[in-house]
Amino acid sequence: MKNYVIILLFFAVSGISAQQIVYKPINPAFGGDTFNYQWLLSSANAQNQFDDGDNKFGNLLDDFNSMDSFTQSLNRQLLSQLTGKLIDDKFGNGGIAPGKYMFGSLFLDVSEASQGLVINILDTQTGEQSQIIIPR
């Protein structure tokens, strides 16, 4: 009986064959059939949820003016230097000391915390708030 089972298993196993699995990509950009291009493009366009009619960023390069860019850059640098000078005059070279400060419409509350130096900024005109934490 054992011999029959072994012979039966031998014939069952010898009848099994395999074939090589070959992957062929669909996208023509990765080696797929070039006739798939139109189908893939139409499928992508059908799924596109964005409308190009209201593209407010489309004319950014058309409106680019090098003189305006230079003027804005110069203004930013001058304001940065002025801000640095004001901070040095107000706080000295020792850094920002804990306390309450007013710069125009900005109210600064500087305090020490376990995380480090915490600066709460409040714009009194708009009510916007921001918090900066400087770790130790």
Tens of pLDDT, residues 114-124: 888 888 989 89
Q: Is the pTM of this model over 0.75?
A: no
Give the Cα separation of 118 and 132 in Å (integer). Answer: 6
What tokens appear for 4 in the block? Answer: 């029959």
Q: Is the dihedral of CA 17, 21, 22, 26 positive or negative?
A: positive
Q: Which helix (H) or strand (E) holds 12?
A: helix 2-14
Tens of pLDDT, residues 39-95: 888 988 899 887 666 555 555 556 667 888 888 888 788 778 777 776 676 666 666
Q: Of the candidates 104, 99, 103, which has an alpha carbon nearest to the alpha carbon of residue 117?
A: 99
Q: Of the candidates 109, 106, 107, which has an alpha carbon nearest to the alpha carbon of residue 119?
A: 109
